[in-house]
Amino acid sequence: MTDVRVRFAPSPTGFLHLGGLRTALYDYLFARHTGGSFILRIEDTDRSRFVPGAIENLIESLRNLGLDFDEGPSAGGACGPYVQSERLDLYHREARRLLESGHAYPCFCSSETLAKMREEQQAKGEFVKYDRRCLNLSPEEVQARLERKEPHVIRLKMPDGRKFAFTDLIRGDVEMDTAQSDDQVLLKSDGFPTYHLAAVVDDHYMRISHVIRGEEWLSSTPKHLWLYECLGWPAPLWVHLPLILNPDRSKLSKRVGDVSVESYLQKGYLKEALLNFVALLGWHGADDREIYSLEELCREFSLERVNKAGAVFDLAKLDWMNGIYMRKLPLEEIASRALPYFHAAGIPLPEQDVLLKIVAAARERCTLLPEIASYSRMFLAPRPLTPEEEELLGTPQAQSVVHWFADNLPTSEPLPKEELDALVKTGMAELGLKGKDYYTPLRLALIHEPHGPELPVIFGILGLERAHALLRDKFRR
């Protein structure tokens, strides 16, 4: 195999989204698996959609996820600059070559003219494409209009009746003709290139070996192959990833799919789970496992195991996977990542040993990091009891449970879980109570909730001294 060089080339139009993350991840995994290079290139030639700060956010998002790039903005490299707006001279030079060879031509049509052209073609049921009226201008008229500095674009002259055959590493042999290929704009009137020219030029000069991109770009491949041919360059290998679909197999809706990666992380999804989940949106390992670390994905990944069929985005599966990682990662790590949610909810932080006990109990039943903070509230900032709960706690039966535990709960730490389990069983036997008659008064007294963790867990988190104080506080004289 030739030296692998792959690129992730997002547009700085906002935050990194799930589709972009999958492309970046597959680029990264393929590069790491093959010992190749992973390159970040910023395609910022559509100035109308440029969002200030988006480049910095994209770089930070990739690094926070652990997808370190070998070349790119801030990383440097021999093929820079890696921001397209800094490479305009290169695109203009190659556009001039295409003009001189007759493979491109100036187009002076206004946006109003083009809109009218499209309307007429649609009314006739024709395929909507540029009708090449400016291709028929005489050289003298073209020169005169250029000298008058009339606004214009540069279009690629696509060949008529040509079939383009290529091999896609996922889809196999593909053949497409030019019957429905437009004379694509290469250089816009503002002097910036379109994606088609800039991507081809940059992929050549950055020595990209494999172009990994979404299925939606498959129809543009003949234009890109023709550009490579016109410029006398060898084309890279093509990899078109399957669509990401909703559970009903429609194309992934913006409501789900266009939520940014940053938003998922802020909601409390773990980066390890998100990467694992996104990796399986179109790829599967040799043994059909579902849980992979990033290092394991690097070892296992291959393009041969990427599916042709669309991949279903199943939020329930992401939730399940996040729960797995909540319990799989080191306890201290989960506690550290949960801290911002404690601060956001205004929940006071306990000492580290108590925090770890809370997190250890919480992560067994929580899916997202904010749920750990919510779970902790009953121990660290319990809500007031309702009048109905106060009345229940004041009944003789409830008071008998509270008093029994206040009298029989040991005061010296530590108290092993086995002894707490035995104590709970003894109390149940001596009082002749069970179920909610037994447990509800204790939970209301200790955590102000009628339902919650097992009593040994509650005593273990509160500590015996605080548990005694809470029980005494609920005495009714």
Per residue, the 3-state secondary structure of 363-409, as one string, reads CCCCCCHHHHHHHHHHHHCCCCCCHHHHHHHCCHHHHHHHHHHHHHC
One domain, residues 273 and 337: no
328 catalytic, yes or no? no
pLDDT of 345 higher than 90 = yes
**214 in helix, strand or coil?**
strand
This prediction has a pTM of 0.92
Calculate mean pLDDT across residues 190-213.
97
Four-point Cα dihedral 275, 2, 237, 188, nearest 10: 90
Q: How many CA atoms lie within 13 A of 249 on its CB side?
A: 2
pLDDT at residue number 376: 97
pLDDT of 255 higher than 60 = no
Bridge partners (DSSP) listed for residue 212: 239
Q: How far apart are CA 155 and CA 88, in angstroms?
A: 17
Burial class (CB in 10 A: 0-12, 13-18, 19+), 324: middle
pLDDT at residue number 50: 86
Tell me the average pLDDT of the chain.
94
Domain membership flag for residue 120: yes
**283 in helix, strand or coil?**
strand
Domain membership flag for residue 33: no
One domain, residues 348 and 406: no
Q: How far apart are CA 361 and CA 372, in angstroms?
A: 9
The CATH number of whichever domain residue 422 belongs to comes to 1.10.10.350
Which of 340, 374, 408 terminates a domain? The answer is 374
The CATH number of whichever domain residue 235 belongs to comes to 3.40.50.620
Q: How far apart are CA 281 and CA 306, in angstroms?
A: 9
pLDDT of 254 higher than 60 = no
pLDDT at residue number 34: 97
Q: Are 13 and 28 in contact (CB under 8 A)?
A: no
Domain membership flag for residue 123: yes
- In Å, how far are 155, 245, 434 from 260, measured between CA atoms? 34, 16, 49
Calculate mean pLDDT across residues 117-144.
94
**328 in helix, strand or coil?**
helix
Which of 219, 241, 263 terminates a domain? The answer is 241
Calculate mean pLDDT across residues 10-20.
90
pLDDT in tens, 409-423: 998 888 788 888 899
pLDDT at residue number 476: 74
**40 in helix, strand or coil?**
strand
Domain membership flag for residue 77: no
Question: Which pLDDT band holds residue 258 (cuts at 50, 70, 90)?
Answer: low
Calculate mean pLDDT across residues 458-465.
93
Chain centroid to Cα 297, Å, comes to 16
pLDDT at residue number 46: 86
Domain membership flag for residue 432: yes
Q: Which residues contact 148 (CB under 8 A, 6 or more apart)?
A: none
pLDDT of 477 higher than 70 = no
Q: Following DSSP, what letter does each residue of 139-183 receive, concatenated?
A: HHHHHHHHHTT---EEEE-PPTT-EEEEEETTTEEEEEESTT---
Q: Please give the span between the terminal C-alpha atoms of the chain, in angstroms, as a whole number.
A: 84
One domain, residues 106 and 236: yes
CA angle 135, 141, 144 (to 5 degrees): 130
Nearest alpha carbon to residue 197 among 207, 206, 205, 187: 187
Give the domain range for residue 442. 382-477
**39 in helix, strand or coil?**
strand
Domain membership flag for residue 71: no
One domain, residues 158 and 302: no
Q: How far apart are CA 90 and CA 86, in angstroms?
A: 9
Domain membership flag for residue 66: no
| Ramachandran angles phi, psi of 6, nearest 5° | -120, 155
The CATH number of whichever domain residue 280 belongs to comes to 1.10.1160.10
Can you give the length of the chain in residues?
Answer: 477
Calculate mean pLDDT across residues 50-79.
93
The CATH number of whichever domain residue 338 belongs to comes to 1.10.8.70
pLDDT in tens, 179-201: 878 999 999 999 999 999 999 99
For the chain, what is the domain count? Answer: 4
One domain, residues 349 and 367: yes
pLDDT in tens, 347-369: 999 999 999 999 999 999 999 99
Q: What is the b/e burial string over 240-275, where b = at least 16 CB atoms within 10 angstroms of the residue's CB?
A: bbbbbbbeeeeebeeeeeeebbeebbeebbbbbbbb
Host H or E run for residue 122: helix 111-123
One domain, residues 270 and 219: no
Domain membership flag for residue 157: yes
One domain, residues 200 and 306: no
One domain, residues 284 and 180: no
One domain, residues 231 and 344: no
Pairing type for strands 311-312 and 244-245 reads parallel
One domain, residues 233 and 318: no
Question: Which pLDDT band holds residue 123 (cuts at 50, 70, 90)?
Answer: very high
pLDDT at residue number 169: 96
Which of 321, 340, 374 terminates a domain? The answer is 374
Other C-beta atoms lying within 10 Å of the C-beta of residue 366:
22
Angle of helix 417-431 relative to helix 436-447, nearest 10 degrees, comes to: 130
pLDDT of 246 higher than 90 = no
pLDDT at residue number 253: 63
One domain, residues 318 and 396: no
Nearest alpha carbon to residue 440 among 373, 388, 372: 388
One domain, residues 368 and 286: no
Instruction: Choose, from 254, 271, 328, 417, the residue flagged as catalytic.
Output: 254
pLDDT at residue number 60: 93
Whether a cis peptide bond, with omega within 30° of 0, leads into 81 is: yes
Q: How far apart are CA 95 and CA 155, in angstroms?
A: 9
pLDDT of 299 higher than 70 = yes
Q: What is the b/e burial string over 75-102, where b = at least 16 CB atoms within 10 angstroms of the residue's CB?
A: eebebbebbbbebeebbeebbeebbeee
Q: How many CA atoms lie within 13 A of 467 on its CB side?
A: 26
